[in-house]
Amino acid sequence: MASRASIASRVARVAPAGVARARRAARGRGAATRATRRDDDDDDARRAQPSTASTTRRRALALALASATTRAVDARAANVPSPAIASSGALGALESQFIDVFGRAERAAVNVVDLTVLNQSGNQSAFAGAIVAEGNGTGVVWDDEGHVVTNYHVLGGVLASAPKGRKLGEVAKVTIQTNEGNRTFAATLVGASKEKDLVVIKVDAPKELLRPAVVSSSSEGVRVGQAVFAIGNPFGFDHTLTTGVVSGLNRSIQSQVGSLITGAIQTDAAINPGNSGGPLLDSRGQLIGINTAIFTPTGTSAGVGFAIPIDTVNAVVPQLIASGEVVFPSLNIKFASASVERDLQVPVGGGALIQSFIGDSAASKAGFLATRRGIAGIAPGDVIIAVDGAPCGVAADVVRAIERKRVGDDVQVTALRRAAVGDANPEKVTRTIRLATANA
């Protein structure tokens, strides 16, 4: 056995040689690794830079696929039936008439906004779905002096806020359509009739911008079933045209300010908030009424709209322009309600029962009798059945006939006189009455 000293000596001699060989081997492996990495990098570079031929082949393949897809789509489309495409032809006669009426009358319709509404909102714009406050309505250009007619209730806010007896200045803003777009002008009050829901305002606009409406002389010729056109600003949408027919005549309605309007024209042309004060036109484009009210449970058009007849407008507007107020002729009679007529056995619809007289009534002076209490009980008053030969079935007929006259005119009034309740043989009485102004 070799001694520990000899073993240690051999290890000492062998160790330097082994270490040297290990170092040479390590250097060899490192070089090989670096060579391998260079080869890998070269392969990556070659893969990252494909040849021009390869790129061209791929592009050609993509184009071929796209072309094949297009041909397939075209083939499927060829099998889908296509609609018949018609060239735009001439409009029908009815459409042309509608367009002509609107074209001639649209400039006569203007937007009218109560000044108090503007002060609250800051502007007069309206948007789809917005609730348009009362006071945003329509008006009709009456003449080239700048007079504009609209409803009293459109300007009800500013008129109600003014102290009684004080002359008002600016009350509204009026927007007029021009060739260069819409222009807005201040409007001052000329005159108002709350009783007839009409007001006249004036704009200081150049005459060349004003297009007065063509006003019909009378609404006597209006017939149920005839075509009518309404132009207005419903919900703030300016110069909106709606069409319909006259669906009723001689309606008695209560205006939005509580007054009785007789002889109203009923129409199914859509009238909505914002249409108030606008024109109702016939097929010739003539003004036959001023749109004023709707009958609706929802607040929007239900196909039952009403216009103040042009007879009333023609009677009121000139007076408002001349003096700022209206003087109405009157019989100064208070008529009984239908329930009172039934109680006194007076046929409802057979005339207007005189209940009492108002103030110093010319009808009373002429010898007509009001409902009164006699020895045998209540005696019914005279029942007016005609004015100047025109039949009157209800009180509104009498009022309408009288309002077509003027203060100072003489009218013939015919009535039936019953001696007692239930009298089946009434006496016919005719008297001439000179019309006076309406008593308060």
Which residues participate in catalysis according to the annotation? 153, 197, 276
Give the other-Cβ count within 10 Å of 164's Cβ: 4
Return d(Cα 203, Cα 274) in angstroms, integer: 20
| Cβ-Cβ contacts under 8 Å for 437 (sequence gap 6 or more) | 327, 328, 329, 330, 407
Return d(Cα 114, Cα 124) in angstroms, integer: 9
Comparing C-alpha atoms, which of 177, 181, 178, 199 is closest to residue 190? 199
Residue type at position 12: A
SS3 191: strand
Structural contact between residues 324 and 388, judged by C-beta atoms closer than 8 angstroms: no
Q: What are 319's two structure tokens?
A: 């007076």
- Count of alpha carbons within 13 angstroms of residue 56, beta-carbon side: 3
Beta strand spans in 115-259 (E): 136-141, 147-150, 170-178, 181-193, 198-203, 214-215, 227-232, 240-254
End-to-end CA distance of the chain: 156
Give the other-Cβ count within 10 Å of 400's Cβ: 22
Return d(Cα 213, Cα 314) in angstroms, integer: 13
What value, to the nearest 5°, has the Cα angle with vertex 109 and ends 108 and 114? Answer: 130
**429 membership: H or E segment, kind and range:** strand 427-434
